[in-house]
Amino acid sequence: MKKPAKVNCPICKKATEFSPENPHRPFCSERCKLIDLGDWASESHRIEGSPVFDDVMSEDLDNPTHH
């Protein structure tokens, strides 16, 4: 049987198994997984590129009858 790959946790850098038995993969723990989620929610992590939504969306919110 093939041995599961070892990866470093993106948050704490601890070596952890990347396998179905690790429900937090690629993270080492629920704590590191939640820290990463918080970074995305606070926009500390971003994917480069143009925004998907433009100012038209915010104008629609200001004037709900405008379609």
Annotated binding site: 9, 12, 28, 32
Q: How many CA atoms lie within 13 A of 4 on its CB side?
A: 12
* Residue whose C-alpha is closest to residue 29's, from 46, 50, 15, 41: 15
Cα–Cα distance, 5 to 22 (Å, whole number)? 11
Annotated binding site for Zn(2+): 9, 12, 28, 32
